[in-house]
Amino acid sequence: MDVIALDDPTDPQIRGWHAVLAAVHAAEPDGEPTPQPHQTAARLLGAEQGSRQRLWAVRSGAEMIGVASLRLPGEPGADRPGEIDIHVHPDHRRRGMASGLLAVAADALRADGRTSVIAQVLARPAAVGFLEAHGFRLVLTLQGLLLRLPDLPPGRVDTLLASGPSGYELVRWCGVVPDEYADALAKAKHAMADLAEYEGAPWDADRVREMAEMVAKRGDDLYTVAAVQDGAIAGFTEIVVPADGAGRAAQYDTAVAPEHRGRRLGIWVKAAMLTWLAGERPEVTEIETDNSGDNAHMLAVNEEIGFRRERESREYLASADDLPSS
């Protein structure tokens, strides 16, 4: 089996890669919209800001049948895990394609001075079986939820908004956080401890701004609603409306600082967000989100708003030393 590195993918290679993703999606629908060729091209041609990516493929004749990407956040040797994603065409499974791709990616991971790698996958037998066979262990279960706005009972959001706690002021902005709230937002992001655990880099005002700039660079719009008390952000929620999301927006972070929990601030900022979006972006009909399976409180907040569980995804972690070599 020949694994080829795609350092600078050509148009035919991008089409081949997309064909693998489209075949996997068709064989195993996941409730997500069908991936579009331009989305694949954008992802292959530009690594996210602050990270590098390596790409590999396996071919059978002229046809691409397996692909792997490795995202390397930060500088070489950074104390953050790489992120691996492997797809094998459904007609070519159980022949060691993914194992071969993983071995090549693991060599690159170690050469970059990394000690670990994560994989985020749908909880399906092939992905789970493959990862567990290669020394990955489960670190996080995520529930994928979807809110269909037309299904919301009339008046539901207004009622939730009107029943907000006293002593807080709602503020909102689109894009990069206004300077006066930048430090406060970074502090509030620490409240998302479950994700911060192995994300490594701490949140500061610059990282908060960078994240918003990255979203804008993709052409997407980031909306933030926050509940403020004495200049501090007690809770906030973020939604991204993709430029080509066909009516589906994505929930980004939502957090309530520990000392402000238990006052229904999470529901309140989310209700304010829905009201704002309805006026500002009426084309948005669905919002998707992932919640950590052990974050019972956030799941309850989302289900009270009207989000419904769609699928389970999982994050697996492996030590670089435990992975195969090519």
24 scored as a contact of ligand COA (CB under 6 A) = yes
Which residue in 130, 203, 223, 268 binds ligand COA (CB under 6 A)? Answer: 130
Q: Rounded to whole angstroms, how far apart are CA atoms 98 and 104?
A: 10
Min dist. Cβ of residue 266 to ligand COA (A): 31
- In the shown chain, the binding pattern of residues 209 to 248 toward ligand COA, with x for contact by CB under 6 A and - for none, equals ----------------------------------------
Min dist. Cβ of residue 134 to ligand COA (A): 7
Give the type of residue at 200: G
- In the shown chain, the binding pattern of residues 61 to 100 toward ligand COA, with x for contact by CB under 6 A and - for none, equals -----------------------xxxxx----xxxxxxx-
Tokens of 317: 């972690």
Number of residues that bind ligand COA (CB under 6 A): 21
Q: Rounded to whole angstroms, how far apart are CA atoms 249 and 289?
A: 9
Q: Rounded to whole angstroms, how far apart are CA atoms 268 and 266?
A: 5
Q: Rounded to whole angstroms, how far apart are CA atoms 30 and 33?
A: 8
Of 294, 68, 301, 90, nearest to 197 by C-alpha is: 294
Min dist. Cβ of residue 131 to ligand COA (A): 6
For ligand COA, the closer CB: 83 or 210: 83
Q: Rounded to whole angstroms, how far apart are CA atoms 147 and 296?
A: 18
3-state secondary structure 156-180: HHHHHHHCCCCCCEEEEEECCCCHH
- Closest-approach residue to ligand COA (CB): 129
- Under a CB-based contact definition with an 8 Å cutoff, are residues 314 and 138 in contact? yes
Which residue in 119, 160, 192, 299 binds ligand COA (CB under 6 A)? Answer: 119
For ligand COA, the closer CB: 101 or 161: 101
Residues near ligand COA (CB under 6 A) are 24, 84-88, 93-99, 119, 121, 125-127, 129-130, 133
